[in-house]
Chain A
Amino acid sequence: MDLLSFARGPALQFALVVFFIGVAWRIVGITLLRTGRLLSEPRTSLGKALFGGFVTMGSRSWPHPEFVGRTGAGEALGYSYHIGLFIVVLAFGPHIQTWAGFLGFDWPALPSGVITIISVITFALLLAVLFRRLTHRVLRLLSNFDDYFSWFITTLVIVTGLLATAHFGARYETLLGLHVLSFDVLLLWFPFGKLMHAFYIMPSRAINGYLLARKGAPS
């Protein structure tokens, strides 16, 4: 079996199964953890507290004004490459066809030239992010294998994708096979590292917002 057929055949199937098992495992496992008893008096009604939780999902999207100076650049950098990744994954014609294969419906695509430009910019941003992580004293101290590997596998998918569309470095089928295979590895890794923030981020903000709103703190 050639690389491409393997990558999007048995390898993809296996990766998807592991992905769903892993995601379900972690979400169920975390949701069912014991929470400490809430020892403070609720200072707002349940409705207001829930609303506070809801609002926090959005209000934490950007640092409070006092902190923008120190963290703003990092946030903006992060957003930029996330947006780039989403556009490439969801608006590139061949990708849309892959989604359509699973969902049964498709949607309009962006011109492929535009996608290429966005991909290159995203790759540059990913490099910038790595540079920042390696040179920032605090970040460097905090960073571990999880951070670096999550970065690596995401960047690998984008780089192999660019190489495939550019037909650069090897036969097209080989490059495409490597691209799909790197995506398979991403799927395999996803549930076990920091990439799970994709699922945690909103619930986590909401819960924190609820708890704070319950104590009467603004969200």
Chain B
Amino acid sequence: MTQPTIGELLLQNGVSRRAFLKYCTAMATLMALPAGMGRALAAQAAAARRLAVVYLSFQECTGCAESLLRAYSPSIENLLFNVISLDYQHTLMAAAGHQAEGALAQTMKENFGQYLVIVDGAIPAADGGVYGTSGGKSYLDTMREVSKGAAAIISLGTCAAFGGIPMAKPNPTGAVPVSDVISDKPIVNVSGCPPVPEVITGTLFQFVAMGKLPELDALGRPKTFFGNTIHDRCYRRPFYDEGKFAKTFDDEGARNGWCLYELGCKGPTTYNACATVKWNGGTSWPVESGHGCIGCSEPNFWDKGSFYAPLSSAAFGRAGNVSPRDAARLVGAAAVVGGAIGLGAAAVSRQRQTRLAGAPLDPQKKED
């Protein structure tokens, strides 16, 4: 039984082609494609078949799922579910227990080699993976099994992509990102804590409509959304360039919307789409709401020091002021050691000086 095409499904569900064009146009602008490409994308997507998607949840807080799925209401995101067939997802699916696992096994069998696996959460690998189990199987084993028939894997969120908060010090469960467990399938890292919802849907849509994975950066993230730093797209950039910084969260500078560099904004070293796509359907984003970027789409951002210490104050692996006592200790100790060496050097030099002073003046004799 061949699956209906997306176009046929749209017709069945009473979604007009024009409405689908609107959706595809929105997707095109989201993916920084020329907005005029909407019609071409619509045609391509309509001719494709729905993509079977399996969603695995591991060491996660469900924030990434919320980011993607909270829009599941009579909204444009609803159209996304005409485009994918979400066959397995713990939070959403009505089935539970053996029925749920059965659904997973069935979809894996029917779509072997063609289904997409979305993973959120890190995978605990210490002690054989025993710190994360579901249905009697460890997350480690589930990941390896399910990925066997996957066409591609999307690591959703910083935990799945880079280890995230479970991997932060001291990492008691030995949490690792998906890419440390699977090496033989293409992996797309859609990082962020959580990722911007449109980044998730845009990446999925791109895979369905264009039949291939988007172009990835050095960390495996879609270049479309992660190609620029927050700093490069920030609307407060003119203030950074002018040297106008807010010093506290409620001072004049903050109220005038000045740059938040001194309040810890990690925008310059963070690659994400927040500054252009924004959050909550374009309502706002952290900097616009007055809080510096915390760099949540970057690896190890939990361990990179305080969110409130400026980027350039990070020294000695700590952010924020090196405590005066530490600084004094360092300088003092070094100076004492240096002084001691200096004393030794001076002693040697003085000896030599004395020797030279006592030596007879003889132009022919070689002095050293």
Q: Is B321 in contact with A25, judged by CB distance below 8 angstroms? A: no
CA distance A32 to B347 in the complex (A): 8
Stretch from B42-50, B91-99, B281-289, B327-335 contacting the other chain: B327-335
Report Cα–Cα, A114/B241, bound state, in Å: 9
Report if B337 contacts A (CB, 8 A): yes
Closest A residue to B343 using CB positions: A28
- B245 and chain A: residue at smallest CB distance: A93
Q: When each residue 92-136 of chain A gets 1 if its CB lies under 8 Å from chain B and 0 otherwise, what string results?
A: 011101101110101011111110000000000000000000000
Nearest-CB residue, chain B, relative to A21: B338
Decide if B262 is an interface residue (CB 8 Å cutoff). Answer: yes
- Contact indicator B334/A20 (Cβ below 8 Å): yes
Residue B353 interfacial (CB < 8 Å): yes
- Residue of A with least CB distance to B303: A5
Partner pick for B350 among A17, A27, A32, CB 8 A cutoff: A32
B335 touches A20 (CB 8 A): yes
Is B234 part of the binding interface, using a Cβ–Cβ cutoff of 8 Å?
no
Please tell me if B243 contacts chain A, counting CB pairs below 8 Å.
yes
- Give the complex CA separation of A27 and B232 in angstroms: 45
Q: How far is the CB of B338 from chain A (nearest CB, A)?
A: 3
B312 within 8 A of A: yes
User: A21 is contacted by which of B240, B341, B354 (Cβ under 8 Å)?
Assistant: B341
B220 interfacial by beta-carbon distance below 8 Å: no
Q: Point out the residues of chain B lying under 8 angstroms from A32, CB to CB.
A: 342-343, 346-347, 349-350
- Is B268 a contact partner of A25 (Cβ separation < 8 A)? no
Docked Cα-Cα span, A10 to B315, in Å, equals 9
The docked-state distance in angstroms from the alpha carbon of A28 to that of B348 is: 13
Give min CB distance, A165 to chain B, whole Å. Answer: 10
Kindly state whether residue A173 has any CB partner on chain B within 8 Å.
yes
Are A172 and B269 CB-contacts (below 8 A) given A21-B334, A33-B350? yes
* Any A CB within 8 A of the CB of B37: no
Tell me if B243 and A93 are in contact (CB < 8 A). Answer: yes
Q: How large is the interface on A (under 10, 10 to 19, 20 to 34, 35 or more residues)?
A: 35 or more
Main secondary structure on chain B at its contact with chain A? helix
B334 contacts A167, CB within 8 Å? no
Contacting pair A33 B353 (CB below 8 A):
yes
Known: A24-B337, A97-B261. Is A29-B349 also a contact (CB below 8 A)?
A: yes
Please give the distance in Å from B31's CB to the nearest CB on chain A.
Answer: 22
Measured in the bound complex, the distance between the Cα atoms of B238 and A122 in whole Å is: 24
- Report yes or no: A94 in contact with B337, Cβ–Cβ below 8 A: no
| Complex Cα spacing A32 to B342, Å | 9
Q: Does B310 contact A (CB under 8 A)?
A: yes
Complex interface: chain A residues within 8 A of B232 (CB): 167
Is B346's CB under 8 angstroms from A97's CB? Answer: no
Tell me, in angstroms, the Cα distance from A101 to B229 when the chains sit together.
Answer: 24
B15 on interface, CB distance cutoff 8 Å: no
Q: Indicate whether A111 sits within 8 Å of B315 (C-beta atoms), given known contacts A24-B337, A94-B310, A102-B321.
A: no
A28 and B310: CB pair below 8 A? no
Assess whether B322 is interfacial by the CB under 8 Å rule: yes
- Chain A window 1-27, contacts with chain B (Cβ cutoff 8 Å), 1 for yes, 0 for no: 000110011101100111111111111
Cβ-based interface call for B313 (8 A):
yes
Closest to A32 in B: B346
Is A137's CB within 8 Å of the partner chain B? no
Contact status A28-B346, CB under 8 Å? yes
Q: A145 CA to B192 CA in the complex, in Å?
A: 49
User: A70 at interface (Cβ–Cβ under 8 A)?
Assistant: no
Distance in angstroms from B245 CB to nearest chain A CB is 6
Min C-beta distance of A93 to chain B, whole Å: 6
Q: Are A5 and B317 in contact (CB under 8 A)?
A: yes
B316 vs chain A, min Cβ distance (A): 5
**A97 B313 Cβ-Cβ under 8 A:** yes
Q: Is the CB of B316 within 8 A of A13?
A: yes
Q: A33-B349, A33-B350 are in contact. Are A101 and B321 (CB under 8 A)?
A: yes
Collect the chain B residues with CB atoms within 8 Å of residue A13's CB: 315-316, 330
Residues 61-89 of A, flagged 1 when their CB comes within 8 A of B and 0 if not, give 00000000000000000000000000000
CA distance A109 to B313 in the complex (A): 15
A93→B231 CA distance, assembly (Å)? 15
Contacts of B316 in A (CB 8 A): 8-9, 12-13
CB of B324 within 8 A of chain A? yes
| A206-B349 Cα distance, complex, nearest whole Å | 23
Check A111–B342 contact: CB distance below 8 A.
no
Within the assembled complex, what's the spacing in Å between the Cα atoms of A94 and B269? 13
Given A24-B335, A93-B245, A101-B321, 9 more pairs with CB closer than 8 A: A20-B331, A32-B343, A93-B262, A94-B261, A98-B312, A98-B313, A102-B327, A111-B243, A176-B269
Binding site for B on A (CB under 8 A): 4-5, 8-10, 12-13, 16-34, 93-95, 97-98, 100-102, 104, 106, 108-114, 167, 171-173, 176
List chain B positions with a Cβ less than 8 A from chain A. Answer: 218, 229, 232, 240-243, 245, 261-262, 268-269, 304, 309-317, 320-322, 324, 327, 330-331, 333-339, 341-343, 345-347, 349-350, 353-354, 357
Name 20 A/B residue pairs within 8 A (Cβ), A-sorted. A4-B269, A9-B316, A13-B316, A16-B334, A17-B330, A22-B338, A23-B335, A24-B334, A24-B339, A24-B341, A32-B342, A93-B262, A98-B312, A98-B315, A101-B310, A101-B322, A102-B315, A104-B324, A108-B243, A112-B241
* Chain A to chain B: the 3 pairs with minimum beta-carbon distance, closest first: A24-B338, A28-B342, A20-B334
